[in-house]
Amino acid sequence: MTQPLAPGSLAGRTALVTGSSRGIGADTARYLAEAGANVVINYRNKAPRAEKLATELRGLGVEVLVVGADLTDADSVQAMFDAVRDAFGSLDVLVLNASGGMEAGMGEDYALQLNRDAQVRVLETALPLLSEGARVVFVTSHQAHFIRTTPTMPEYEPVALSKRAGEDALRERIPALAERGIEFVVVSGDMIEGTITATLLERANPGAIASRRESAGKLYNVQEFAAEVARAALEPVPDDNTRLVGDTGSFAGE
């Protein structure tokens, strides 16, 4: 993989990436570690995979903490940040990557619990550890970011609406974060090839990924999009607090 951040550019800093035992979260954690950051790997139920990634990243010479936490459970989230405080004392980068809502067998309001309520809970619980100069990155999709103006596939609409609700709830906190010297940026990407969400969408709507690829001209893969998320942790925050990745030509402006 190409390193999106200069080696050592995050040396001495600590980053937590939610949902980082696999996929975009894992590659984001890897890029941050390659840039010198100590990393907190969060997982819900993939402990062996998380530990395997931790072993790899420790080989880069950084410290790695692995913490299992259900982000929809307040006590679990608090325990995670207590562990971060005990291990590192503070946190410089918080990447809100974990999301979902298409899983089978979850409650009717699970998407909203995870993609809105849990995102706000994680940020608020992390605040005592985030000092001046810290950066919060929220990861979303164009299908969610533009859902108010551009319809998406019916199979994805509940997730898109819940993720947009989460984005809105987090954006409301930008002034309060700014008062504390904490920066906030949204990273929005098109459908990402190779993700669980893309797989589930393709299963529910065969041909959906190929159709979107043809329309956009190119879809990012997991590693490519993770590189953009990693860059968002360090590069200057755009004026509108939004980093759009990939084609947006078929999405109407907000």
Beta-carbon count within 10 A of 56 CB: 14
State how far the Cα of 182 lies from the Cα of 233, in Å rounded to an integer: 12
Reported as a single tens digit per residue, the pLDDT across 140-178 is 999 999 999 999 888 888 899 999 999 999 999 999 999
State how far the Cα of 254 lies from the Cα of 23, in Å rounded to an integer: 28
Contacts of 233 (CB under 8 A, 6+ apart): 5, 10, 15, 32, 93, 95, 135, 137
State how far the Cα of 37 lies from the Cα of 13, in Å rounded to an integer: 5
Reported as a single tens digit per residue, the pLDDT across 179-211 is 999 999 999 998 776 666 666 666 666 776 666
Q: What is the pLDDT of residue 36?
A: 98
Say if pTM beats, i.e. exceeds, 0.85.
Answer: yes
